[in-house]
Chain A
């Protein structure tokens, strides 16, 4: 797996490269700012880009802008965004183009190497990795009448893991239940929330996030075709 890292903090940048190389992953280039990162993407055509949100000069959202631009130049590029804190607008901005090949994680998740590598592989394979923190925020911020009340506590757990981008098997492992039980929960969730039932991970994530976002989704434009059915359905509910 060919990887480019964009992170302005030298210590963290090198630490990350070291960690990935020790896992025999191919870190082809590292960059300290957005411009260098885009050059590296153009030069090395990596499969995955790991991007820090805050980079010079303004230390605001350079990483997000750069990630969006890199995806424009190389649409099949998987992007894993690392952030010092959860900012929902960042997630929204990123997910605007669909949830496939996309990850948004808090920086410290990198320390849990196994989970981090899982997320990295998932994203590289075309899936999604959303930080549990983002999902929690979305869950707590959603309107009380959003229909979440109708879910059982187990169903909520499944929903959260689904929103993170976990597949059925991973969810089953985490919750110590069978695949079949997870499948049943998911069907029940989709039914209760009026979401279009779908199997592909990134579509499920998009659908779930879209539903959770429904409290403040005015500013979001969802133009990803696979979610059109689900989104029209949710919109009709409002």
Chain B
């Protein structure tokens, strides 16, 4: 942005222009929003609808380029630092400087990831990256960051500068007729000092030039923004192979958690079978055995034992039913989630409203989990909340099942007290779901659960 045609008297003027430009840059940053709106207005005056459409997409594009300019300046500094460090290596002291420069590289790359995420698909931040020479040289992410840095510190920087200076030049030249006569004669000139404005025709020509800058800016900015972002989008995501392995690690972890929860569930079932139903049945055999021995000696006593044996057998049956229901409530299969929840609500002592908006059936285990969540919540409500009303809402949105149970009771519910909620939380976590409980003293209490329903 310097002049080639500068004569010595103009030198002071150029200096003034430069400072003015700097001030205007700051102004444009501060009022970037208002400025671009005005630009959009100006293009509407031109009457070209295509241009107007481009102008609408220009505001974010320009903001993006300005932000890109910021990271590009940082990238430039880091690039300079890295080159300096590399040179220092030749002198043998580079190994001390290099970690600092590499830390700078990771930091500026992370800033760019955050920035690009704001403007499009998310770029995942990699974990801690190596800052020592040898591991860094072998690290694929660091190598990709370096590739990005080289481009962004040069081409990206240039694109950002041009994108920011173009609208500024447009404003400066378009408004030339308003101010050229205020500055000392012979010191008013167009951007890039294409010509010196000495009279009104020159000033209006400058205004036309300003409109030209505007058109160029409007036309090019979105493309430039894309161009500037492309390098970051290409090189800053993790290496595809690495990305996949991260995903595999994540899936392995959740799968292990699911298996763990599954094992816990199996243990629970095994225990309720062995320590519950089986003990009842053993008691039955013991009582029957005793009764048989007693038959001859004391028929009346035997009769009493038989009575006890029968009631033990009935208890065993009841236990078996409850174990089976604990595995998968049969009502879910018979009447679906909505019907099952309505049944729960009807059995609850506190009046309940049920709203279920689930068009499709979810996986059986997900429905069962939702059912147990509501059952546990309603038990707690009727036991502790002193609520007068409760509401159950269930909805499926974006392959997730949202369950919410609210009551108007006294609040203060705590997950730590009573293991009911804890068991529910484990069950939910096994399904990769989320449980939130808000219960301020005085109420209301809201239990929210989100479950992936895998449909």
Chain B hits for A54, CB < 8 A = 274-275
B278, B279, B287, B315: residue with the most chain A Cβ atoms closer than 10 Å: B279
A118 vs B289: C-alpha distance when bound (angstroms): 14
Could you give, for residues 156-179 of chain A, a 1 whenever the CB lies within 8 Å of some chain B CB and a 0 otherwise? 000000000000000000000000
Contact of B293 among A9, A11, A16, A113 (CB under 8 A): A113
Could you give, for residues 192-225 of chain B, a 1 whenever the CB lies within 8 Å of some chain A CB and a 0 otherwise? 0000000000000000000000000000000000
Contacts A12-B279, A54-B275: A22 and B293 contacting too (C-beta < 8 A)? yes
> Closest residue to A60 on the B side, CB-wise?
B271
Could you give, for residues 112-132 of chain A, a 1 whenever the CB lies within 8 Å of some chain B CB and a 0 otherwise? 110010000000000000000
A26 interface contact, C-beta 8 A: no
Asked if B274 and A108 make an inter-chain contact with CB atoms under 8 angstroms apart, the answer reads: no
A193 vs B275: C-alpha distance when bound (angstroms): 39
B285, B289, B292: residue with the most chain A Cβ atoms closer than 10 Å: B289
A145 interface contact, C-beta 8 A: no
B312 interface contact, C-beta 8 A: yes
B251 interface contact, C-beta 8 A: no
A23 vs B293: C-alpha distance when bound (angstroms): 9
Asked if A84 and B289 make an inter-chain contact with CB atoms under 8 angstroms apart, the answer reads: no
Asked if A111 and B274 make an inter-chain contact with CB atoms under 8 angstroms apart, the answer reads: no
Contact of A15 among B278, B287, B293 (CB under 8 A): B287
B10 interface contact, C-beta 8 A: no
B285, B305, B315: residue with the most chain A Cβ atoms closer than 10 Å: B285
Chain A hits for B356, CB < 8 A = none
Asked if A113 and B292 make an inter-chain contact with CB atoms under 8 angstroms apart, the answer reads: yes
Chain A hits for B287, CB < 8 A = 15, 18-19
B427 interface contact, C-beta 8 A: no
Asked if B283 and A15 make an inter-chain contact with CB atoms under 8 angstroms apart, the answer reads: yes
> Closest residue to A117 on the B side, CB-wise?
B293
> Closest residue to A56 on the B side, CB-wise?
B275
Asked if B271 and A113 make an inter-chain contact with CB atoms under 8 angstroms apart, the answer reads: no
Contacts A54-B275, A107-B278: A12 and B283 contacting too (C-beta < 8 A)? yes
Chain B hits for A22, CB < 8 A = 290, 293-294, 301
Shortest distance from the beta carbon of B291 to any chain A beta carbon, whole Å: 9
Shortest distance from the beta carbon of A25 to any chain B beta carbon, whole Å: 12
- Secondary structure dominating the interface of B: helix
Chain A hits for B280, CB < 8 A = 11
Interface size class of A (residues with CB under 8 A): 20 to 34
Asked if B275 and A18 make an inter-chain contact with CB atoms under 8 angstroms apart, the answer reads: no
Asked if B286 and A110 make an inter-chain contact with CB atoms under 8 angstroms apart, the answer reads: yes
B286, B287, B292, B305: residue with the most chain A Cβ atoms closer than 10 Å: B286
Asked if A11 and B279 make an inter-chain contact with CB atoms under 8 angstroms apart, the answer reads: yes
Restricting to B292-312, which residues have a CB under 8 Å from any CB of A? 292-294, 301, 305, 308, 312
A156 vs B424: C-alpha distance when bound (angstroms): 52
Contact of A16 among B271, B278, B286 (CB under 8 A): B286
Asked if A108 and B281 make an inter-chain contact with CB atoms under 8 angstroms apart, the answer reads: yes
Shortest distance from the beta carbon of B385 to any chain A beta carbon, whole Å: 30
A116 vs B293: C-alpha distance when bound (angstroms): 12
Asked if A18 and B290 make an inter-chain contact with CB atoms under 8 angstroms apart, the answer reads: yes
B257 interface contact, C-beta 8 A: no
B253 interface contact, C-beta 8 A: no
> Closest residue to B315 on the A side, CB-wise?
A11
Chain B hits for A113, CB < 8 A = 289-290, 292-293
Asked if A15 and B286 make an inter-chain contact with CB atoms under 8 angstroms apart, the answer reads: yes
Asked if B283 and A9 make an inter-chain contact with CB atoms under 8 angstroms apart, the answer reads: yes
B288 interface contact, C-beta 8 A: yes
Shortest distance from the beta carbon of A113 to any chain B beta carbon, whole Å: 4
Asked if B275 and A12 make an inter-chain contact with CB atoms under 8 angstroms apart, the answer reads: no
> Closest residue to B293 on the A side, CB-wise?
A113
Contact of A111 among B279, B282, B301, B315 (CB under 8 A): B282
Contacts A11-B312, A84-B278: A112 and B283 contacting too (C-beta < 8 A)? no
Chain A hits for B315, CB < 8 A = 11
Asked if B289 and A107 make an inter-chain contact with CB atoms under 8 angstroms apart, the answer reads: no
Asked if B289 and A110 make an inter-chain contact with CB atoms under 8 angstroms apart, the answer reads: yes
13 pairs from A and B in contact (CB 8 Å cutoff): A11-B280, A15-B287, A15-B308, A15-B312, A18-B290, A19-B287, A19-B289, A59-B271, A85-B274, A108-B281, A108-B285, A111-B285, A113-B289
3 nearest A-B residue pairs (beta carbon):
A111-B285, A113-B289, A19-B290
